[in-house]
Amino acid sequence: MTDRAYALFEEQQRARGIDVELVKQRLKSFTIETPSWGYGDSGTRFKTFQKVGVPRNPFEKLEDAAEVHRLTGVCPSVAIHIPWDKVDDYEQLKRHAEQLGLRIGAVNPNLFQEDEYMLGSVCNADPAIRRKAVDHLLECVTIARQTGSRELSLWIADGTNYPGQADFRKRKGWLLESLAEVYRAMPAEMRMLIEYKFFEPAFYHTDLADWGMAFNLAQKLGPQAQVLVDTGHHPPGTNVEHLVAYLIDEQKLGGFHFNSRKYADDDLIVGAINPYELFLIFFQIISASADQNPQVRTTVEKIAYMIDQSHNIEPKIPAMIRSVLNIQTQYAKALLINLEEVRAAQDAQDVLAAEDAVRKAFEMDVGPLLTVIREEMGLPHDPMKAFAESAYASKILARGKGGASW
Ligand code: AOS
Ligand code: ZN
Ligand code: ZN
Ligand code: ZN
């Protein structure tokens, strides 16, 4: 059945002028980083449900991530969060990752969980608190060196709840000054990825509220600083694929935190709510990967595709696998867009033909393609089912309840 379905798929795509071998190559080399915190217990401000089998420490989180990689074949790196993943010996954590066939990905500092940070961290009016925050960021640069990570991934939760509470412009200055010190401490091969979010935990203003502010900051810091787009961090209606294209064109798109949102920063399974948005983001990326400007192409090659999701009610490992598969599906569909067809329609200013050239790829069934790719990579056809039936799924139950949580 699969063979026949795939043969038909291949024939149809060839007839449309799609290089199926190239599509397959690109899918096989497309990797997605999973977050250590996605394996632990997480919740809302109302309740954190404790699940059976949740990892009890950073080493076990890596083991769960390795299981996701074993079943999907495309998740070789894991983002860590400090101090959630604090260990005595980071070289040992690195070795543990390597033994599992993984590497440590982005290092995420935590500037939002200590009492001192109630009124801000790097934007706090108190220089002693700013010092503490910068020292933590510098510690994370060191941890990144020790673990072989090349990305420092920053989400600054600073903001205020009431008009007049603080001086916006002074805080803007402190933010730049603080990050500049961290930037100077980074080795040449390290990137600083700057995330933004328009509200929460602060509800009146957030110091790094949108991509424009992150972009401006990254420009001022230098070429090693880029913007990180978390798909859940925009007001409803924001055209995320547009800002993605804009940032790529400015060589300032550093990476993604993928997740789904319906209302705010919901952190749900990727592709669960608006798969068309994800597809359109990939359309922009794929289109830029064929740009004439080599710097734009290099920017695209270096994009860090990361998942940032927290699981309140769903089992952690299957939720992560689901997200990985959903990302692959939308990427595969976007690879079926015939860019020449789009360009010709754009040149002819044929609005409906252009829209059709993009949308029809979204409507195609990439199931047979993904099955064949998994087969060629020696992976299970259905990673969800494979996990449910795996020895690993039953083995982790022995961990009991009360694993790691934030
Ligand atoms: C928070 O909303 C951001 O998405 C950050 O990336 C954060 O560090 C991550 O979600 C872990 O809490
Ligand atoms: Zn309420
Ligand atoms: Zn994020
Ligand atoms: Zn978020």
Q: Render pLDDT for 97-141 as a digit per residue (tens, 0 to 9).
A: 999 999 999 999 999 999 999 999 999 999 999 999 999 999 999
Nearest-CA residue for ligand 1 atom 2 is: 265
What CATH number is attached to the domain comprising 56?
Answer: 3.20.20.150
pLDDT of residue 246: 98
Q: What is the pTM of this model?
A: 0.98
One-letter identity of residue 200 = E
**Which pLDDT belongs to residue 187?**
98
Please tell me the predicted confidence (pLDDT) of residue 168. 98
Query: Best substitution site from 195, 199, 259, 260 to test ligand 1's pocket, by max atoms within 8 Å of Cβ?
Result: 195
Q: For residue 108, give the ligand 1 atom closest to its CA.
A: 8
Residue 406 has pLDDT above 80, yes or no: no
How many domains does the chain divide into? 1
Identify whether 159 is part of a domain.
Answer: yes
In a domain, 256, yes or no: yes
| Residue 389 belongs to some domain of the structure | no
pLDDT computed for residue 405 by the predictor: 84
Examine the pLDDT at 180 and tell me if it is beyond 80: yes
Q: What percent of the chain has pLDDT over 70?
A: 100
Indicate whether 81 belongs to any domain. yes
Sequence length of the chain is 406
Give the pLDDT of residue 312: 93
Answer yes or no: are the C-beta atoms of 81 and 38 closer than 8 Å.
no
Distance 263 CA to ligand 2 centre (A): 14
User: Average model confidence (pLDDT) for the chain?
Assistant: 97
pLDDT at 2 over 80: no
Q: Which domain, by its residues, includes 223? A: 31-324
Is 265 close to ligand 1, i.e. is its CB under 6 Å away?
Answer: yes
Rounded distance between C-alpha atoms, residue 340 and residue 379, angstroms: 33
Domain annotation covers residue 20: no
Q: Is the CB of 85 under 6 A from ligand 1?
A: no
* Residue 124 domain-assigned (yes or no): yes
Which residue's CA is the closest to the ligand 1 atom numbered 6? 155
Rounded to an integer, the average pLDDT of 288-292 is: 97
Q: 296: closest CA among 305, 285, 306?
A: 285
Within-domain flag for 366: no
From the CB of 207, is ligand 1 less than 6 Å away?
Answer: no
Task: Give the pLDDT of residue 1.
Answer: 59
Mean pLDDT of 181-205: 98
Atom of ligand 1 minimally distant from the CA of 110: 8
Helix, strand, or coil (residue 153): strand
**C-alpha dist (Å) from residue 371 to 77, 96, 363, 387:** 23, 31, 18, 16
